[in-house]
Amino acid sequence: MSGDGDGELPVRVVLRPVGTPLPLGFLALAVATTAFAAVQLGWVPVDQSRIAALAALLFTVPLQLVACVFGFLARDPVAGTGMGVLAGTWATVGVSTLTAPPGTSSPGLGVVLLVAAACLLVPAAGARGKLVAAAVMVVSAVRFAVTGVAETTGSGAWLATAGWVGIALALLALYAAVGFEIEDVRRRTVLPLARTGAGAVAVGGAPQEEVSAVAHEAGVRKQL
């Protein structure tokens, strides 16, 4: 990539291929939300909430942190931000569940979940080119918001609703994970992922369209 003005030195930007981290993050999300939904819906005894907490801390959080890092390395701030917020939220839920008596509600955790739900709307708003990924973020926000209300009010009805939203989120996350995984392996979209605009260009566009603005991306430009 060369400078446009007279006397400017040419600049070369080297791009390194990175596999999409979205399937890893979405599969980790499916495990955590299903484990807690099973407790919230009474499918397993309430004392098994500690197992759900351990699954979130030992399985979901590490994998989503990896997905967060590689999201930013792949120059996808939506994936990086979304996975980072999810990892932090599940870590908080896991530690809170481990340290509290089984079956008790926590208004403090409820407030954290409500704020986390609002934070997830930021990457969701930026994911306009990948609508299925945006949908996962939005449903995750709804899942945290409903759980936050349940924790704040201690309502069993809200808790059951949070469980069913958690199951819906798990199914959507599994679909998104399969879709993005197959797409990355086959280099083409197989399952509908509702890619539009820049998201569609990322898979089917010309290479020049993808790298034309790389000089203005974070890590290349002088300031964030």
Per-domain boundaries in the chain: 22-194
Q: Round to whole Å and give the CA distance between 181 and 201.
A: 18
Given a cut of 60, is residue 114 above it in pLDDT?
A: yes
Q: Round to whole Å and give the CA distance between 124 and 118.
A: 10
Q: What is the reported pLDDT for 1?
A: 46
Instruction: Decide which of 106 and 194 is more confident.
Output: 106
Reported as a single tens digit per residue, the pLDDT across 189-221 is: 666 665 565 544 455 545 555 555 565 565 566
Query: Domain 22-194 carries which CATH code?
Result: 1.25.40
Q: Work out the average pLDDT over 172-195.
A: 78
Number of H helices, E strands in the chain: 9, 0
The residue assigned the tokens 């959507």 is 172
Q: Round to whole Å and give the CA distance between 201 and 18.
A: 17
Given a cut of 60, is residue 2 above it in pLDDT?
A: no
Residue 191 corresponds to which amino acid? L
Q: What is the reported pLDDT for 166?
A: 97
The residue assigned the tokens 């939904």 is 37
Reported as a single tens digit per residue, the pLDDT across 48-61 is: 999 999 999 999 99
Q: Work out the average pLDDT over 141-162.
A: 96
| Nearest residue to 28 (alpha-carbon basis) of 60, 70, 75, 51 | 60
Range with the largest mean pLDDT of 1-15, 21-35, 114-128: 21-35
Could you tell me how far CA 132 lies from the centroid of its own chain? 11
Q: Round to whole Å and give the CA distance between 143 and 197.
A: 28
Percent of the chain whose pLDDT exceeds 90: 58
Q: At what angle do helices 156-186 and 131-153 cross, to 10 degrees?
A: 160
CB 86 within 8 A of CB 29: yes
Reported as a single tens digit per residue, the pLDDT across 34-89 is: 999 999 999 999 999 999 999 999 999 999 999 999 998 888 888 899 999 999 99
Q: What is the reported pLDDT for 11?
A: 65
194: left (phi over 0), alpha (psi -120 to 50) or beta: left
Given a cut of 70, is residue 8 above it in pLDDT?
A: no
Percent of the chain whose pLDDT exceeds 70: 75
Q: What is the reported pLDDT for 224?
A: 55
Q: What is the reported pLDDT for 46?
A: 93
Q: Round to whole Å and give the CA distance between 8 and 11.
A: 9
Q: What is the reported pLDDT for 213?
A: 58
The residue assigned the tokens 């967060």 is 68
Given a cut of 70, is residue 16 above it in pLDDT?
A: no
Dihedral sign computed on CA atoms, order 62, 159, 120, 132: positive
Give me the phi and psi of 197, to 5 degrees please.
55, -125
Q: What is the separation, in whole angstroms, between the first and last Cα of the chain?
A: 20
Q: Work out the average pLDDT over 94-117.
A: 94
| Nearest residue to 198 (alpha-carbon basis) of 122, 126, 139 | 126
Q: Work out the average pLDDT over 157-163.
A: 96
